[in-house]
């Protein structure tokens, strides 16, 4: 049977989902070639896990064999906290009061539950971040936005301040979402603003240079002395901060779970320099920062002092 596209839009409103798109499941061969080229050029740094389950990342049938359609949701997480770069150490906006992984999984679970209430034969698989699937590629195909030069998905409604989640389902739809036109052609602000020149041609990132990678994923005990993190200790929002679509279309998130956490944002160098292990464990609780231990964050702090 075909599931009604208008019904999924109704469920979007009922569940307070900011963006939703539906696309027919297929093997994304073009994106597979782009991803393979990125790997071959060693732009993944030491994220060796990116090479695992390579085929599954662009072919949902290998991840969930009965997949017929891919549903992509986008949740706006923008908060208007202002951070002074000169006096403070900085944490990315995506580190909010509640870990977005947990929040998106709950939304997708509720969406699947509502769909099953309409048709009990529906089965689905929820994918959020850690699943081997290219969320941005599917988000673009499902019409949520286009790929910016900084590799992020940019939405005309919310800019790039969005979290993506995917639901693979075993039903077809009577209508599918249309892909959006790329509107970043003549703009290079994100490329020019990157402090470490990590943004490459063809909308790719060299992770070895990316401050977000260096402060979140890089597990080296020490970072190179000649490397500047520009006061960032977890993530980096520089390229998003200069994006015209983020400046023009940014809307404060209506989801209280995505509010900024006072103990993490807009804090001085002295605050971070004197933070204790106990205090750090307390303030990172329930956030996307929770997986990183004290010694890891201490390395980032000391590198900026």
CA distance 224 to 208: 11
DSSP annotation string for 61-125: HHHSTT--EEEEEEEE--------TTTEEEE-TT-BSS-HHHHHHHHHHHHHHHHHHH-TT--EE
DSSP state of 42: T
Of 252, 235, 241, nearest to 287 (Cα)?
235
* 18, 80, 129, 237: the active-site residue: 129
Beta bridge pairs of residue 89: 267
Q: Can you say how many angstroms the Cα of residue 301 is from the centroid of all Cα atoms in its chain?
A: 23
State the helix-helix crossing angle for 100-118 and 5-14, rounded to 10 degrees.
Answer: 130
Of 54, 66, 214, 69, nearest to 134 (Cα)?
54
Burial class of residue 24 in the structure, from the number of CB atoms within 10 Å of its CB (0-12 exposed, 13-18 middle, 19+ buried): middle
Of 235, 261, 241, nearest to 148 (Cα)?
241
Answer whether 162's CB lies under 8 Å from 74's CB. yes
Q: Is 220 a catalytic residue?
A: no
Answer whether 240's CB lies under 8 Å from 247's CB. no
Q: How many residues does the chain have?
A: 305
Q: How far is CA 197 from each of CA 151, 201, 207, 288, 293, rounded to the nearest angstrom?
A: 14, 11, 11, 26, 28
Residues labelled catalytic: 129
């Amino acid at each position: 049977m075909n599931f009604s596209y208008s019904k999924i839009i109704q469920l979007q409103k009922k569940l307070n989902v900011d963006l939703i798109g539906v696309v027919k499941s297929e093997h994304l061969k073009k994106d597979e070639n782009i991803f393979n080229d990125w790997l071959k050029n060693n732009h993944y740094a030491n994220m060796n896990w990116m090479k695992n389950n390579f085929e599954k990342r662009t072919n949902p049938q290998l991840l969930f064999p009965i997949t017929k359609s891919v549903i992509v949701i986008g949740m706006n997480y923008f908060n208007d906290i202002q951070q002074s770069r000169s006096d403070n150490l900085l944490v990315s906006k995506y580190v909010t009061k509640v870990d977005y992984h947990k929040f998106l999984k709950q939304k997708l679970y509720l969406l699947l539950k509502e769909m099953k209430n309409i048709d009990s034969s529906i089965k689905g698989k929820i994918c959020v971040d850690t699943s081997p699937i290219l969320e941005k590629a599917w988000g673009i195909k499902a019409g949520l936005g286009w790929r910016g030069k900084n590799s992020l998905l940019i939405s005309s409604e919310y800019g790039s301040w969005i979290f993506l989640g995917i639901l693979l389902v075993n039903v077809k739809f009577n209508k599918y979402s249309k892909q959006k036109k790329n509107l970043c052609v003549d703009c290079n602000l994100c490329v020019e603003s990157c402090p470490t020149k990590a943004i490459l041609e063809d909308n790719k990132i060299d992770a070895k240079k990316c401050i977000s990678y260096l402060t979140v994923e890089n597990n080296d005990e020490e970072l190179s002395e000649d490397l500047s993190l520009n006061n960032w200790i977890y993530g980096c929002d520089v390229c998003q901060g200069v994006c015209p679509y983020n400046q023009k279309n940014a809307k404060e998130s209506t989801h209280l779970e995505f509010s900024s956490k006072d103990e993490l944002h807009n804090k001085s160098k002295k605050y971070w320099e004197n933070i204790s292990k106990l205090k750090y464990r307390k303030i990172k609780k329930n956030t996307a920062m929770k997986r990183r231990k004290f010694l890891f964050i201490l390395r980032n702090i000391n590198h900026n002092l």
